[in-house]
């Protein structure tokens, strides 16, 4: 399958250190190569939140090597769907793109106990998204 045939999703939050990293990893885990996945932040942190790394490891997804990335116009333009998670007006909007805004608590500064329910809610939303955007094979 060519890249043009695969739907592409960009997850955006402010620091690209928590919610968007979890969402990208879960979508990649569930959809594999059926979806092109990106994540970015409007003001990226230096590292991914350690509690987020730990919470993802609990469900068998290793994001320890991930690094926060800066949101670029090119990333938005290259994506079919842009899912924002609390970045407000800092996310560029382009006509013809599908935008979803997922209101989720920010895991910044939280322990793994607080991150788990955020992770689980993201996974629930991702499952619905996978069913919606991936062709049945």
How confident is the model over 65-114, as pLDDT tens digits?
999 999 998 999 999 999 999 766 666 677 778 889 999 999 999 999 99
> 91, 112, 126, 129: which one is catalytic?
91
Would residue 127 show up in a list of annotated catalytic residues for this protein?
Answer: no
Of 12, 13, 52, 75, catalytic: 13
Query: Across all residues in the chain, what is the average pLDDT?
Result: 90
Could you tell me the two tokens for 86?
A: 């609390």
The first and second tokens of residue 44, run together, are: 């990226």
Segment 8-35 mean pLDDT: 95
Phi first, then psi: what are they for 135, rounded to 5°?
-70, 145
Distance, CA of 80 to CA of 85 (rounded, Å) = 17
Q: What is the pLDDT of residue 96?
A: 79
Q: Quickly state the pLDDT bin for 2 (edges 50, 70, 90).
A: very low
Of 87, 118, 122, 129, which is the active-site residue? 87
pLDDT given for residue 88 in this prediction = 62
Write 27-33 long-range contacts (CB < 8 A, 24+): 27/126, 27/129, 27/130, 29/61, 30/126, 30/127, 30/130, 31/130, 31/134, 33/1, 33/6
d(CA 74, CA 82): 12
> Per-residue pLDDT for 136 more than 70?
no
Phi and psi based region of residue 124 (left: phi greater than 0; alpha: psi -120 to 50; beta: remaining): alpha
For the chain, strand residue ranges (E) read 8-13, 36-41, 81-84, 98-101
Confidence (pLDDT) at 133: 84
Residue 1: per-residue pLDDT: 40
Average pLDDT score over residue span 3-12: 83
């Amino acid at each position: 399958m060519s890249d043009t045939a695969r739907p592409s999703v960009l997850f955006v939050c402010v620091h690209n250190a928590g919610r968007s990293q979890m969402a990208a990893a879960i979508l990649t885990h569930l959809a594999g190569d059926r979806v092109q996945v990106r994540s970015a932040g409007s003001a990226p942190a230096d590292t991914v939140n350690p509690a987020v790394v730990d919470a993802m490891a609990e469900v068998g997804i290793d994001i320890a090597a991930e690094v926060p990335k800066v949101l670029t116009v090119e990333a938005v333009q290259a994506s079919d769907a842009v899912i924002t998670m609390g970045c407000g007006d800092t996310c560029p909007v382009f006509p013809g793109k599908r935008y979803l805004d997922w209101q989720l608590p920010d895991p910044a500064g939280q322990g793994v106990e607080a991150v788990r329910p955020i992770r689980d809610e993201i996974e629930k939303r991702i499952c619905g998204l996978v069913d919606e955007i991936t062709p049945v094979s």
